[in-house]
Chains A and B, each alone.
Chain A
């Protein structure tokens, strides 16, 4: 699985868009980009995943660069409940290895 690099922490104002970056310069052609988040001590929660194209669902949007070496998770209107650790994971197999993630703090 490709290694990912994320900033350790970010802040965002409530109601504004939160843009979380992830670098994965060694990504292979068959590896997907997944995003999960973990709120406090709860189990990780799936957000979104993509291979090449940009993706959007009810929670977020995923923008993947054309060379696939980086991606951005966008929470369009962050709320206080979006405060969590966000993990970017690149993998082809089902086994998932988590890094340290980005701790997003949404402030009022």
Chain B
């Protein structure tokens, strides 16, 4: 398996522009997670899905952020409009539950820079 795939790997955009980050989870996994990492705040859970349904979006910073999972093999995280403080590395992860525990596999991340 290729693991979790994220695109693009790097994104540079200007303030006010729309940004869309993409994720393909590992086949067979029914949980998908979006995380953000910054030097100041560390790794933060933004939102996660189970069977394509958003379960917990309490970590989404504000209404400018939205996430969708139209099918089991694809998810997007959209920022509109983007701001310089959104600059971070965004990770996608997927997992499945087994015996009450899950092992999350992370993608390589998308490094976003908003100028």
Contact = CB atoms under 8 A, between A and B. Distances in A.
A49 B103 contact: yes
A97 B109 contact: no
B101 A44 contact: no
Contacts of A95: 33, 45, 48, 56
Given A43-B106, A43-B107, A94-B31, A30 B100 contact: yes
B103 A46 contact: yes
Interface in B56-106: 56, 89, 91, 93, 95, 97, 100-106
A32 B100 contact: yes
B104 A41 contact: no
Interface in A35-57: 36, 38, 41-46, 49, 51
Contacts, number: 52
Report the interface size class on chain A.
20 to 34
Interface of B: 4, 31, 33, 42-45, 48, 50, 56, 89, 91, 93, 95, 97, 100-109, 111
Which 8 pairs from chain A and chain B are nearest by CB?
A43-B106, A98-B43, A46-B103, A44-B106, A32-B101, A43-B91, A94-B102, A95-B45
Interface of A: 30, 32, 34, 36, 38, 41-46, 49, 51, 87, 94-100
